[in-house]
A and B are shown apart, each in its own frame.
Chain A
Amino acid sequence: GQNIDQPTEMTATEGAIVQINCTYQTSGFNGLFWYQQHAGEAPTFLSYNVLDGLEEKGRFSSFLSRSKGYSYLLLKELQMKDSASYLCAVRDTGGSYIPTFGRGTSLIVHP
Chain B
Amino acid sequence: ETGVTQTPRHLVMGMTNKKSLKCEQHLGHNAMYWYKQSAKKPLELMFVYNFKEQTENNSVPSRFSPECPNSSHLFLHLHTLQPEDSALYLCASSHRDNEQFFGPGTRLTVL
Contacts and interface: CB of A to CB of B under 8 A. Distances in A.
Interface string B25-58: 0000000010000001111010010000000100
A43 B33 contact: no
Contacts of A102: 42
B18 interface: no
Contacts of A43: 43, 90, 100, 102
Residue with the greatest number of chain A CB neighbours at <10 A, chosen from B97, B101, B104? B97
| Interface range on chain A (Cβ under 8 Å from partner) | 20 to 34
Interface in A70-111: 87, 89, 91, 96-98, 100-104
Contacts, number: 41
Interface string B3-43: 01000000000000000000000000000010000001111
A100 B101 CA distance: 15
Nearest to B55: A96
B96 A45 contact: no
Interface string A37-68: 00011111100100000000000000000000
Residue with the greatest number of chain B CB neighbours at <10 A, chosen from A35, A43, A44, A97? A43
Q: Would you call the interface of chain B mostly helix, strand, loop, or mixed?
A: loop
A24 interface: no
Contact of A104 (B42, B90, B100): B42
A103 B40 contact: yes
A48 B90 contact: no
A23 to B, nearest CB: 14
Interface of B: 2, 4, 33, 40-43, 45, 48, 56, 90, 96-97, 99-105
14 contacts: A41-B104, A42-B90, A42-B102, A42-B104, A43-B100, A48-B99, A89-B43, A97-B96, A98-B48, A101-B43, A103-B40, A103-B41, A103-B42, A104-B42
